[in-house]
Amino acid sequence: MSSQPYPAALHQSSTQSRTLISQNGQNTPTGGGTPNSGTGAPELDVRQQLLNYQKMFDQAAYPFINDASAYEKLSKIGQGTFGEVFKARCKSTGRMVALKKILMANEKEGFPITALREVKMLEQLKHPNIIDLIEVCSAKSSAPATKDRTTFYLVFSFCEHDLAGLLSNPKVRMSLLHIKTMIKHLITGLNKLHRSKILHRDMKAANVLISREGVLKLADFGLARPFVQRENSNVPRALYTNRVVTLWYRPPELLLGDRSYGTKIDVWGAGCIMAEMWTRQPIMQGDTEQRQLQLISALCGSINQEVWPNCVKMPLWNVMSSDTNTPLPQGKKRVLRSKLRHLMRLDGPDGRSQSDPYGKGKPNEHLPADFKDDDAMNLLESLLAIDPDKRPTADEAEDDIWFYKEPLPKANVQDLMDTIPTSQFEYTVGKGAHAGRGRHHNNQPRPNQAQRQSNAIPAGQYRDTIF
């Protein structure tokens, strides 16, 4: 092997391969260095070069990475967008972990840059409300098609439940205090993320995990990225891709093509998740960007300059508002409060608050008889403000008055966890909740949805869009 540091050689291979393969996909041998000579071998076939790199990659030893054989795989618990997730046990400590396989989409380019970014960010995000990355480990594939290929895994501390699964299980009854505690954890985790100058960019219930001890953890940093805070407005804003955030949780600015968005995109997602705690299903289930904008207008009111002065500056504003079947209908009232008050039963017949969309549970006995939780609704209203500038920062939301009023949020929802006999994964494996609920990205087809029928949501399914 050359004396060149290994990662540098890999990097060179990827940039070379891009320049050496011409537009029509034909190989165009040019005078590039090989991994071994470093001096140039003009006629060397590019494909052969890439195979050499692949071989180097597979044969390399990874002295700082544990072998995956340190873990015993127990079951597959998730088929995420970017790879499989397994429940496993550490053979030496007995600790339960989740192994997230890193998808090597273009193995010739070596360790994927997206996974590298995920690891780098998780390293600096040690916080009780953020999933704990234990290590990265590697294994040699035994499958015939990929024999001897190296596979990498991210090793996380194991969480018994994800919020999407929890919410789809009608047996899980959550009190207002459980919801308040979990939302407090969610916003605290998000605040840590934003203070660390990282955008999550895929906030949704499926990416929120709950440990056996009842502590909520933000997970899935596959779309996350660091951001730059502008010190003054003369510095041009950085432009990011707007092809982020699962459609149902995507805020209006992204749907209108904004590429200089900031932390408020995650705040919108937190609002969608907060509402979902009561509705037990995603609140706006559009199947196209246009439809998603219509659903937002139907629930949160028309999008216009009155509520959002800068909306006309959005790149897609003209296109979307001049469309004959405009996705930006005008004259729509904001009905979020009235729709959700009913579901939250904040104005129930006995004047007592309860959070039981299935209508089977008892009211929250621990709440004072005259309890009326307008504060929860006020926070939700602000998180789901159409104008990103009007949404609170995660820091402001963490300090919201709701969290300082009785009943005060607790350190965990352990008591809720104790009422659930099996891990959510055993409950939902293969049934849908963990197979697709809220997980599809961008324009991939949405999962089949059950028709709106009754208040009871079959496990792992959605009612049809109700808002």
Q: Does 100 appear as a known binding residue?
A: yes
Binder to ligand ADP among 4, 81, 114, 141 (CB under 6 A)? 81
Are the C-beta atoms of residues 198 and 125 closer than 8 Å to each other? yes
Q: For residue 279, what are the CA distances in angstroms to 186, 207, 339, 464?
A: 17, 18, 10, 12
Q: Which stretch binds ligand ADP (CB under 6 A): 21-29, 157-165, 278-286, 407-415?
A: 157-165
Q: Nearer Cβ to Mg ion, position 224 or 296?
A: 224
For 38, left (φ over 0), alpha (ψ -120 to 50), or beta? left
Element containing residue 210 per DSSP (H, E): strand 208-210
Query: Half-sphere exposure of residue 178, counting CA atoms within 13 Å on the CB side?
Result: 22
Can residue 272 be called a binding residue for ligand ADP (CB under 6 A)? no
Can residue 317 be called a binding residue for ligand ADP (CB under 6 A)? no
Helix (H, G, I), strand (E, B) or coil at 466: coil
**Residue tagged active-site, from 132, 162, 202, 400:** 202
Q: Nearer Cβ to ligand ADP, position 207 or 354?
A: 207
Q: In three state form, how does the secondary structure of 323-343 look? A: CCCCCCCCCCCECHHHHHHHH
Question: Which residue has the closest beta carbon to Mg ion?
Answer: 220
For residue 224, the minimal CB distance to ligand ADP (Å) is 10
Q: Give the count of residues interacting with Mg ion (CB under 5 A).
A: 3
Element containing residue 395 per DSSP (H, E): helix 394-398
Binder to ligand ADP among 111, 153, 156, 403 (CB under 6 A)? 156
Can residue 249 be called a binding residue for ligand ADP (CB under 6 A)? no
Is residue 287 annotated as a catalytic residue, yes or no? no
For 86-120, the DSSP string reads EEEEETTT--EEEEEEPP-TTGGG-S-HHHHHHHH
Separation of CA 70 from chain center: 28
| Binding partner at 190 among Mg ion, ligand ADP, none, C-beta below 5 to 8 Å by kind | none
Are the C-beta atoms of residues 281 and 249 closer than 8 Å to each other? no
Are the C-beta atoms of residues 293 and 328 closer than 8 Å to each other? yes
Q: Nearer Cβ to ligand ADP, position 211 or 321?
A: 211
Which amino acid is it at 40? G
Residues in the chain: 467
Q: Nearer Cβ to ligand ADP, position 193 or 346?
A: 193
What is the rounded end-to-end Cα distance, in angstroms, of the chain? 61
Q: Which stretch binds ligand ADP (CB under 6 A): 151-159, 180-188, 232-240, 447-455?
A: 151-159
For residue 391, the minimal CB distance to ligand ADP (Å) is 24
| Binding partner at 201 among Mg ion, ligand ADP, none, C-beta below 5 to 8 Å by kind | none
For residue 154, the minimal CB distance to Mg ion (Å) is 12
Q: Nearer Cβ to ligand ADP, position 159 or 380?
A: 159
Residues 199-218 that bind Mg ion (CB under 5 A): 207
Residues 325-364 that bind ligand ADP (CB under 6 A): none
Strands 216-218 and 208-210 come out as: antiparallel
Q: Nearer Cβ to Mg ion, position 114 or 141?
A: 114
Can residue 220 be called a binding residue for Mg ion (CB under 5 A)? yes
CA-to-CA distance for 127 and 354, rounded, in angstroms? 31
Binder to ligand ADP among 80, 110, 262, 460 (CB under 6 A)? 80
Can residue 423 be called a binding residue for Mg ion (CB under 5 A)? no
Query: At a CB cut-off of 8 Å and minimum separation 6, what does 282 contact?
Result: 204, 205, 248, 249, 272, 276, 438, 462
Catalytic sites, residue numbers: 202
Residue ranges that bind ligand ADP, judged by CB under 6 A: 77-78, 80-83, 85, 98, 100, 131, 156, 158-159, 162, 206-207, 209, 219-220, 222, 434, 439
In the complex, the residues that contact Mg ion under the rule CB under 5 A are 80, 207, 220
Residues in the annotated binding site for ATP? 100
